[in-house]
A and B are shown apart, each in its own frame.
Chain A
Amino acid sequence: VGPGRGRRQGRAGPGRAGADTVSAPAQGGGSAVIDMENMDDTSGSSFEDMGEMHQRMKEEEEEEADGEAGAGEEEDGEFLGMKGLRGQLGRQVADQMWQVGKRQASRAFSLYANIDILRPYFDVEPVQVRARLLESMIPVKMINFPQKIAGELYGPLMLVFTLVAILLHGMKTSDTIIREGTLMGTAIGTCFGYWLGVSSFMYFLAYLCNAQITMVQMLSLLGYGLFGHCITLFVTYNIHFHSLFYIFWLVVGGLSTLRMVAVLVSRTVGHTQRLILCGTLAALHMLFLLYLHFAYHKVVEGILDTLEGPNMPPFQRVARDIPVVSNAVLNTTAKAIALTL
């Protein structure tokens, strides 16, 4: 090809006029004859013929180049042994792709899975947590001055988990035979749903009522308010008297609600706004405690009823005495099993 090319260029260089006709026979063997025939043919324009000639030239060059390259590769493959040119190229490409992929993955991971965003909210000492837990039960007196709320998430998160554990413990002391799995999901869903959902709702209301509070502070406030719930439920799940529950509900629940309300009031301006915010928060907080004590047991009993079938007498909703309840449950369960067998 080299000498062939040289010959062609040599021919085309000096004289342009004779280039078309003179250089034609110097190309590949077969094409020269054909081109000469085309040249002599006066039917079509020589323009198309020139185009065809150039196309054939290009194809021949490509074939020869491929042939050379193939020969070159084979030669190199034999020269380099087992790895070969293609093998080495392949390995290099794979290596590069792996590195690029790894870099991209680690960048994406460090960008999205960065838990350091939450780190400042967990920067507490145990004494601080204890102090805040106790403070959450003490209503503040100064409502004309915005009260400080610590934007911390460790205490509220632990309190929510404690509430879940207490709810589950309550099921155990009533000695009911239940599917733990469903109750676990319900307990976690209820507690987290309350904490996150009511916080978001109150934050939205606070935004409407122009209160000076951020989302993290709202989460923190409501979370620490659950301390009263935890105490109440822990006591009343072990000592089952409705009157005791009502006393605890009013006193403990009321204290924590008063604290939250006072803090919110100190951060809001205007009577109507204060009324809206505090009324909503107080209502939701106290009703949640009522729900946890009464209606949550109804959820449990509902599951128990569906498990035991419709021909069992419904649970009597009286002040519970544990031995009586557990005996009744055991008796009804035994009856159900005897009936199904």
Chain B
Amino acid sequence: FPGLADVSISQDIPVEGEITVPVGSHSPDEDYSTLDEPVKDTIMRDLKAVGKKFVHVMYPRKSSALLRDWDLWGPLVLCVSLALMLQGGSADSKDDGGPQFAEVFVIIWFGAVVITLNSKLLGGTISFFQSLCVLGYCVMPLTVAMLVCRLVLLAGAGTISFIIRLIVVGAMFGWSTLASTAFLADSQPPNRKALVVYPIFLFYFVISWMILTFTPQ
């Protein structure tokens, strides 16, 4: 067919490639299957994964589910809710609470990044996002403490409420540190666990300090 010699097909597209593509791999089928499912299924699957991780934080056992399928939805929700609840804690009525939200947000994420980098530099086997995921999920007890503090402060702002808040925040701080240590310390060489635990301790201490010194207008 001399006519076909002038057809402008690029030389390196073999006809065989076109034929073998559908037969070769299964992953395009999987992609298409999750693309075609209803939106409700996708959302429910993600919500179930997030919920399972919350349960893991509440009962910290050495399971790898939190580490294996990391996601940052839970940390985002917790961080935003904590930052929202920490607004309006100043004596100045002119303060619109804008910078406070940003400060809390930045401190939580910046602190988590620093701890992750530290644990990686100390020779940890955990990946960057896995560590962020664990640290973010372990902020949950402190969010619960914030909620309790707000409720207690509704009743009054005396010495008794301060003692109650101190106890609650202290307990939740200990829980957060223990939960995150249970997940993160395993990825370190055994003799360096203390080096990784200390910055986590400081990080949750700063967040607890922010929660404890919160007084609404």
Do A and B come from the same complex? yes
**Which A residues lie at the B interface, using CB under 8 A?**
2, 65, 68-69, 72-73, 75-76, 80, 83, 85, 88-89, 92, 115, 118-119, 121-126, 129, 154, 157-158, 161-162, 164-165, 168-169, 171-172, 177-182, 184-185, 307-308, 333, 336-337, 340
- Decide: B118 and A177 in contact? CB cutoff 8 A: no
Interchain CB contact (< 8 A) of A179 among B95, B117, B123: B95
- Decide: B13 and A88 in contact? CB cutoff 8 A: yes
Known: A72-B8, A129-B195. A169 touches B209 (CB 8 A): yes
Interchain CB contact (< 8 A) of A177 among B8, B91, B104, B117: B91
- Decide: B13 and A181 in contact? CB cutoff 8 A: no
Q: Quote the shortest CB–CB distance from B203 to chain A (angstroms).
A: 9
- Which B96-123 residues have a C-beta within 8 angstroms of A? 99-100, 102-104, 107, 117-118, 120-123
Size band of the interface chain B makes with A: 35 or more
- Decide: A122 and B18 in contact? CB cutoff 8 A: no
Identify whether the interface residues of A are mostly helix, strand, loop, or mixed: helix
- The contact sample of 23 A-B pairs, CB cut-off 8 A, is A2-B2, A72-B7, A76-B9, A85-B9, A88-B18, A89-B13, A92-B13, A122-B118, A126-B191, A154-B118, A154-B195, A158-B202, A165-B209, A178-B213, A179-B95, A180-B89, A180-B100, A180-B209, A181-B104, A184-B210, A307-B90, A308-B91, A340-B93
Q: Quote the shortest CB–CB distance from A46 to chain B (angstroms).
A: 33
Which residues from B are CB-within-8-Å of A165? 202, 205-206, 209
Which residues from B are CB-within-8-Å of A169? 209
Which residues from A are CB-within-8-Å of B185? none
A57–B31 CA distance with the chains assembled, in angstroms: 53
A83–B210 CA distance with the chains assembled, in angstroms: 60
A105–B125 CA distance with the chains assembled, in angstroms: 23
A337–B90 CA distance with the chains assembled, in angstroms: 12
